Amino acid sequence: MIQKKPSKSSLRELTIRNLGVIDTAEIEFKSGLTVLTGETGAGKTMVLTALNLILGGKSDSDFVRSGQERLIVSGKFEIGEALSLIIEDAGGIVEENEVIINRSVTNQGKSKISLGGAVSSATQVSEMAQELIEIHAQASSARLSKGSVQLELLDSFAGHENLVSDYSTDFEEHLNLRKRVAELERQLSVRDLEIAKLEAIVKDFERVKPQPGEIAELENEINKLGAVEELNTGIIQALATINSEENSAISALGLSKKILENLKGKDSALDSLIEDQSESIYGLVEVTGKIERYLSGLEADPARFDFLQLRKSELLGLVKKYGTGSDREIAYENLLAEAEEASSRLADLQGGDLRLEELKNQSKEKFKELQSSAKKLSASRITSAGKLSEAITNELALLAMANAKLIVSVLQSDETESKNYSASGLDAVSFLFTSHSDGKPLPLAKGASGGELSRVMLAVEVVLAKNSPVGTYIFDEVDAGVGGKAAVEVGKRLALLAKNSQVIVVTHLAQVATWADNHLVVTKSESGSVTQSNIIEVTGSERRKEIARLLSGQDESISAQEHARELLDMVAKASAEMIG
């Protein structure tokens, strides 16, 4: 039966070794809403640090547990088909729709990361991780106040990727034409010298026809042909050692293999070792054959050697004549890039004033296209801004902010002035907020308190999640500055968000924790000067004790446990009504 690929990604397992206060932890994450609670300093933040490292975040030797050589974190993710193809194209392995990302950091600060078993880079994993997990730490609320972020959120809600793409293409082409006009105007004053230089470059490059990476390839072959005798002697000696008639290593291994195969079936553990030995012997024989074939093709070629030396001399001559910088390889590659542009620059200069006029006309025509695409994008943003304002305001009402209102403002600059066009368009987007029905809407940073800003961020995420490819959302104390009824509503909205996505929340509030489908607790134990954290899943009475601790600070308090039971029962009833 063919296994159906998931439409959204999700985090399945997280393994932590020697990270901060955590010695060893293996955490299984399930679907729905998972909350992570624990005393201050127990290590909840380290769980998010582990995830950040796995997703390509910045590493630091200070993360390594005291007295240990290195930390190791590993995450297993269930992913969709699109991400599977990206990872497999990068050389990674995806098995049963799951991929494993590993990260290690030494106490010297050295970091390694692998994606699906293949060596990767933090940058590559970070780019791919944007579709895996979205993390909202406490600083994310402040980030929401930035105009550039608000513009991105509006475009994401609008879903007009085609309009953004069309505008970006027109903007880049127009910008390139303006640069060419400015460059040509500058160069026309010294065009004779520039033309002479470019003509020489074009002529020499047409004659030599250098290729990228050619110097390194030539040097490798020159080294090989210059050492044919040494290579020949060394390989013959090595093969003789392996295939000697009297003391043949392969014959000895073959005899060993034959003897061990007679013992097969006596012990499954030994059978496995015998199979490993057979594969190793086969590998040795195969490599030996490859070396023999390499030897058979190894011969001196004086004519080829002379040709390569001459070719290398030609290429180095180009670098010496036209290259810049002390690094030969970089100078060579930069020279190739410069030569690619030489012909078009030469045509610009030789055309003189006529060419300048032609470029200016092209720039004017492209500016008209840019104006058209900018108008379409602005019109779509203005339409979508009204819908996003209404959607977020409705969500805020459900987060115990009945009189709050959020307005997405789109201000369009003068379209006739080319200086008003930026890479994102003509528009300045601003989120205006008021917590009172008769209050004046102000920019988020000025109009919202810390607790209100956290709820605005949650409301935005709930609205955008419907069309987002991200399958897992992680909130680090999104309930900061919130309490009472508002905290209950925050938990409820998180639970609703978890109906369509995996949601993981770090919280200190019982009103939020009670909505969880899965409850993880980070506990801290101390032995002398050594602190160690453990992560366990709690259910039943143990969960009730943890809720009681969150409520009163005392997990053994009878009254607190009764309050916890009442809160859990209330949430269970509300959850059933939501499902119904």
Instruction: Give the residue-averaged pLDDT of 266-293.
Output: 86
Does one domain contain both 36 and 91? Answer: yes
pLDDT at 481: 65
339/422: higher pLDDT = 422
Q: Does 50 fall in a domain?
A: yes
For the chain, how are helix, strand and coil distributed in percent, rounded to 5? 60, 20, 25
Query: For residue 110, what are the domain limits?
Result: 1-132+470-537
Identify which of 541, 538, 545, 559 has the alpha carbon closest to the alpha carbon of residue 510.
Answer: 545
pLDDT at 1: 40
Total domains in the chain come to 2
Query: What sign for the dihedral angle of Cα 249, 250, 254, 260?
Result: positive
Give the domain CATH number at 15. 3.40.50.300
Q: Is 500 helix (H, G, I), strand (E, B) or coil?
A: coil
**Structural tokens at position 562:** 């009764």
* pLDDT of res. 151: 92
Per-residue pLDDT at 497 exceeds 80: yes
Give percent above pLDDT 90 in the chain: 33
Residue 194 confidence (pLDDT) above 80 = no
Q: What's residue 2's pLDDT?
A: 44
Q: What pLDDT score does 195 carry?
A: 80
pLDDT tens digits, residue range 427-465? 999 999 998 888 899 988 788 877 677 788 888 888 887
| pLDDT at position 245 | 67
How high is the pLDDT of residue 141?
Answer: 59
Considering the domain architecture, whether residues 115 and 49 belong to the same structural domain is answered as: yes
Given the structure tokens 């180095």, which residue do they identify? 316
- Helices 228-243 & 214-226 angle (0-180, nearest 10): 70
Query: Do 81 and 36 have their domain in common?
Result: yes
Residues 40 and 128 in one domain: yes
pLDDT digits (tens, 9 = 90+) for 61-114: 999 998 899 999 999 999 888 888 888 988 899 998 899 999 999 999 999 999
Do both 92 and 105 map to the same domain?
yes
Contact of 491 with 571, CB cutoff 8 Å: yes
Q: CA 180, CA 358: separation in Å to the nearest integer? A: 11
Give the integer Cα–Cα distance in Å for 358 and 535. Answer: 69
Same domain, 531 and 550: no
Please state, in angstroms and rounded to a whole number, the distance separating the CA atoms of residues 91 and 104: 19
Burial class (CB in 10 A: 0-12, 13-18, 19+), 296: exposed
Cα–Cα distance, 104 to 289 (Å, whole number): 37
Q: What is the mean pLDDT of residues 55-60?
A: 90
Q: What pLDDT was estimated at residue 106?
A: 94
Residue 8 confidence (pLDDT) above 80: no
Same domain? For 559 and 528 the reply is: no
Cα atoms in the Cβ-side hemisphere of radius 13 Å centred on 430: 13
Span 226-244, pLDDT tens digits = 888 888 888 888 888 887 7
Q: How far apart are the first and last CA of the chain?
A: 33
User: Is the pLDDT confidence value at 142 over 70?
Assistant: no
Q: Is the same domain home to 106 and 45? A: yes
Gap between the Cα atoms of 412 and 418, Å rounded: 13
* Residue-wise pLDDT tens digits, 504-557: 998 889 999 999 999 999 887 766 555 667 788 999 999 999 999 988 887 678
The reply to whether 454 falls in a domain is no
Residue 447 lies in a domain: no
pLDDT of residue 215 exceeding 70, the answer is yes
Distance CA 160, CA 380 (A): 8
Identify whether residues 477 and 550 lie together within a single domain: no
Residue ranges of alpha helices (H) inside 227-326 are 228-243, 249-261, 268-296, 302-322
d(CA 412, CA 266): 81
Same domain, yes or no: 74 and 95 = yes
Statement: residue 577 has pLDDT above 90: no
Residue 398 domain-assigned (yes or no) = no
Query: Does residue 350 or residue 133 have the better pLDDT?
Result: 133
Q: What pLDDT is stored for residue 263 in this prediction?
A: 81
Arithmetic mean of pLDDT over the chain: 86
CA 28 vs CA 8, 57, 99, 353: distances in Å: 18, 22, 15, 70
Residue type, 470: V
575 burial type by CB count under 10 A (0-12 exposed, 13-18 middle, 19+ buried)? middle
pTM over 0.75: no
Looking at the fold, whether 98 and 9 belong to one and the same domain comes out as yes
Judgement on whether residues 482 and 569 belong to the same structural domain of the protein:
no
Q: Distance (Å, rounded) from C-alpha 150 to C-alpha 207?
A: 54
The Cα–Cα gap between 164 and 381 comes to 10
At residue 14 the predicted structure's pLDDT band, cuts being 50, 70 and 90, is very high
